[in-house]
């Protein structure tokens, strides 16, 4: 047991038992340690959230997001091959329409666009640019009809599909996966 006595004329007389203060100091240290641990946990969570947000990809400027894909509708016009080449330069490809939601999204543009559909490999067998078959289609009435060697797919007003000669000049829609 330690006792402190002061006998200087400037200091009031003190008779303090330091062991009486020990529980109070221990409690304060415990509280400060607890506060520090909570703050460290918050900082760790904030750093993890920041890293997660940095990793979240967004569409490039000028592209539109739908589900997990980004879409670019060109203002330039070109042949189907020119369109595909431009999309590839953008690390994308001509749009592949897999869902009704995607079809509605394209339809809302209400314009003729090249899409990633053709029967160039085998006449009458329409496939997407990735080689997959057409499983959901939105052909305009009477299409595809191959009138005059039409081997490339386009949207027409209100989004229905039409087969068209690949050397016609149209704007196009590129698609890229957000997470690729």
pLDDT tens across 66-125, in order? 988 999 999 999 999 999 999 999 999 999 999 999 999 999 988 899 999 999 999 999
pLDDT tens across 43-67, in order? 988 888 777 666 667 888 999 999 8
Q: What are the structure tokens assigned to 168, written together?
A: 């016609």
Please check whether residues 47 and 136 belong to one and the same domain.
no
Please check whether residues 51 and 73 belong to one and the same domain.
no
Please check whether residues 30 and 93 belong to one and the same domain.
no
Please check whether residues 93 and 117 belong to one and the same domain.
yes
pLDDT band at 178 (very low <50, low <70, confident <90, very high): confident
Question: Of 13, 28, 55, which residue sits at a domain end?
Answer: 55
- Tally the domains of the chain: 2
Report the distance separating Cα 67 and Cα 151, nearest Å: 29
**Residue 154, CA distances (Å) to 107, 110, 130, 157 in order:** 11, 12, 16, 10
Report the distance separating Cα 111 and Cα 79, nearest Å: 16
Domain hosting 143: range is 64-177
pLDDT tens across 15-51, in order? 567 777 788 888 888 988 888 999 898 998 888 877 7
Please check whether residues 110 and 138 belong to one and the same domain.
yes
3-state secondary structure of 114: strand
Report the distance separating Cα 77 and Cα 90, nearest Å: 16
């Amino acid at each position: 047991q330690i006792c402190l006595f002061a006998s200087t004329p400037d200091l009031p007389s003190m008779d303090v038992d330091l062991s009486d203060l020990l529980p109070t100091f221990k409690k304060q240290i415990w509280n400060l340690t607890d506060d520090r641990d909570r703050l460290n946990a918050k900082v760790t969570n904030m750093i993890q959230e920041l890293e997660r947000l940095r990793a979240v990809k967004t569409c490039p400027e000028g592209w539109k997001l739908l589900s997990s894909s980004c879409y670019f509708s060109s203002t330039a016009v070109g042949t189907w091959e020119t369109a595909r080449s431009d999309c590839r330069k953008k690390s994308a490809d001509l749009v592949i329409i897999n869902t009704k939601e995607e079809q509605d999204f394209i339809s809302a543009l209400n314009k003729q666009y090249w899409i990633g559909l053709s029967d160039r490999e085998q006449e009458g067998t329409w496939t997407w640019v990735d080689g997959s078959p057409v499983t959901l289609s939105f052909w305009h009435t009477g299409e595809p009809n191959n009138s005059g060697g039409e081997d490339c797919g386009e949207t027409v007003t209100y989004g229905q599909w039409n087969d068209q000669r690949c050397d016609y000049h149209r704007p196009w829609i590129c698609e890229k996966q957000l997470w690729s």
